[in-house]
Structures are given as structure tokens and as C-alpha cells.
Amino acid sequence: MSEIPASLIGKRVTVRLRDGGGYRDIVGFLQSQSSLLNRHDVLIDFSDEEVAVWREIEPLPNLAGKGAPYSLRIAELEELSHLTWPAHEIEESSGWIYRRSGGVTWRANSVLPVGKPPFGEAENSIDEELAKVIAYYKASGLEPAFTIPLPTYAELDAHLESKGWSVVIKAKYLVKNAANLKSSKINFDVEALPSNKWLACQGDGKIQGILEAYPAKYISYSENEVVIATARVAVLGSWSLITRVFVDEAHRGKGLGAEIMFKAEEVSKELGAEKIALQVDATNEAALKLYEKLEYQIHHEYVYRVLR
């Protein structure tokens, strides 16, 4: 049979291979015309001569937390965060993305591994690569830091721990489908840029450059002309990422958190998102309970590790 067409790279296929006097079937996402990644994240190589027959598997509905192998879904969500929360300076080396933004937010000032596990695609030994990271951040007077998606880079995480890098934040990545959403009962303001009042609500003036570096919608609710609740919605492809969800402490416990989430979800869908994601500190029990009620599911965890 003719070779599998290049147009199917990235698609899910089933391939029947000649194996001695019989056949064996493999299923997964085509990485090249002669390799695919199966559901166990194992790369399987084969030759044109081995292919007896192949078939594209029609994709299932685009559901949050479903479909592609787990490691690819984690990578997709981490890319969502990386691109919609862009650092001022970005460099790539050895399967790692270096990010600096003057120390404003850990995500914009940390290394994100994106290469093949367990350590990326290091040109040198892992400790030599870590020395490069340390020098990169210390040159700017910053603490060397990593964003470690788990469990994909669990070995890297363990190695950093053995070298004295400590966890400063442990967070959960939550997802849900943008379907059958509730509407808010409150009138919120929605703007294309964060107003001074929006920024003042959480003291976000220091991250304004990061916020405005990617198109987003800024949701707010005010009382007596003072913003007391905020949220940010950024859409990339079929995903919406909701960040900066906040309700002033004096106004909590009145359902305003759920209402602003309803509005953020509504805006997400209006912008074409099919799936919604958000991140929350693993110690924030109140937020986790709210998101559970709103039917968000935990997709994966990540940590920020810092060398101090």
C-alpha cells in the first residue's frame, strides 16, 4: 500500500502492520509518515513496507480533558498559559523556554520545559543546563525558577528538589466544556483593556504590560464607582483561559465569585471558545470548592520551583 499521506500528521490513525506471517495494529497520533505516538506516549516507528492498511480515526467532539494523550493535553494547556501570559523576554534552549519579566509573576519569570521528558532535549548534562539557567536569572538579579508541569516532568522536578530547589507554589489546572453554561444575573462591565479602576482592584498596575501583551477581555463589577470584582478572559484556539478572578474581601460570601465566573464563561463562549481553563493555588480551598460547584475538573498540577 502507498505511504501514509503527510496531510494526516497530527491526526489520530490506526495502522495495520505486517508482522512476520501475520499482522499487528497500532493506534495513535501520527508524528511523521513513519511514526505515531500511542496512548501510552510511546513513539512507534515503522516503514512503508510494513504498512498493510491505514485509516484516519474521525475525531471525537472537542471536549476538555479528553482525546489526545495526557502528556500532549498537558503541553497544550501549558502553552495556553505561556502564550496568553507572555513574558517580556523569551528565549528557547535545549527543550526549555526561558522567560524574564523583571520578576513580575512566577510564570513570566521561570523556565518552562517543553521538550521530550524527562528533562527536555538537553545539549549538555542536566546539571550543566541548570547552571545556564542559574546564570541567566542571576544576570538580571532574579531568583532562578522553573514551572514544572506534572506528572510529565516529575523526574526533572525530583532532580531539582535534590539540588535544593524549593516549591514556592503548587497549583492545579482545571478545565470544563463551554456548554450548558449559566448566565449571570448581574450586569458586569467588559472592556478590551484593563482600566485604572480594574488594575487598582488587585494592585495589578505592575503586571499591566503582561496583561496587555495578549488580546483579552476584562470583566469588572463596581459599587460606588469602585471596582470590587474582576476577571480576565483570553482565548487561544478552542480554549479560553480565565485569570485574575478576584472579589474584594469585604464583599465575599455573597455569591459574587460565582456570578463573575458565569460572566467570564459567557464571554469565553462569545469569543468562540469550546473549552475553558483556569489555574488555582492548591491551598485555596474556597476557590477549589467554588470551581467544583461550577463543574470544573482537575486536569493536572504544576509547581514553581525556585533556587534561593
Domain ranges of the chain: 6-56, 70-170, 180-273
Total Cβ atoms within 10 A of residue 131: 13
In Å, how far are 83, 97, 148, 266, 281 from 78, measured between CA atoms?
9, 12, 10, 23, 15
Distance between CA atoms of residues 34 and 44, nearest Å: 8
CB-based contact 122:94 (threshold 8 Å): yes
Helix axes 154-162 and 126-138, enclosed angle (nearest 10): 70
| Residue whose entry in the numeric block shows the C-alpha cell 524527562 | 118
| Residue whose entry in the numeric block shows the C-alpha cell 538580571 | 140
Helix or strand run (H / E) with residue 97: strand 96-100
Q: Give the predicted TM-score (pTM) of the model.
A: 0.79
What is the per-residue pLDDT for 60? 56
- Give every CB contact of residue 117 below 8 A, 6+ residues apart in sequence: 71, 152, 153, 155, 156
What is the per-residue pLDDT for 96? 95
Distance between CA atoms of residues 174 and 300, nearest Å: 7
For 288-294, the CB contacts below 8 A with 24+ separation are 288/172, 290/257, 290/258, 290/261, 291/174, 291/261, 293/258, 294/176, 294/258, 294/261
What is the grid cell recorded at 281?
493555588
What is the per-residue pLDDT for 153? 96
The torsion angles phi and psi of 126, rounded to 5 degrees, stand at: -60, -40
Total Cβ atoms within 10 A of residue 174: 25
Distance between CA atoms of residues 180 and 183, nearest Å: 10
Closest residue by Cα to residue 147 from 214, 203, 240, 80: 80
Number of residues assigned to the chain:
308
What is the per-residue pLDDT for 180? 87
What is the per-residue pLDDT for 67? 66
| Residue whose entry in the numeric block shows the C-alpha cell 485574575 | 244
CB-based contact 149:302 (threshold 8 Å): yes
**Which amino acid would we find at residue 118?**
P
Residues in the chain predicted with pLDDT less than 50, given as ranges, are none
What is the per-residue pLDDT for 285? 95
Q: Please, which residues bridge with residue 52 across strands?
A: none
- CATH number among 3.40.50.720, 3.40.630.30, 1.25.10.10, 3.40.50.300, domain 180-273: 3.40.630.30
| Residue whose entry in the numeric block shows the C-alpha cell 502507498 | 2
- 3 secondary structure, DSSP code: P
What is the per-residue pLDDT for 1? 52
Q: Please, which residues bridge with residue 35 across strands?
A: 32, 45
Pairing of strands 51-56, 35-37: unpaired
Distance between CA atoms of residues 299 and 308, nearest Å: 30
Distance between CA atoms of residues 115 and 54, nearest Å: 29
Q: Can you say how many angstroms the Cα of residue 51 is from the centroid of all Cα atoms in its chain?
A: 36
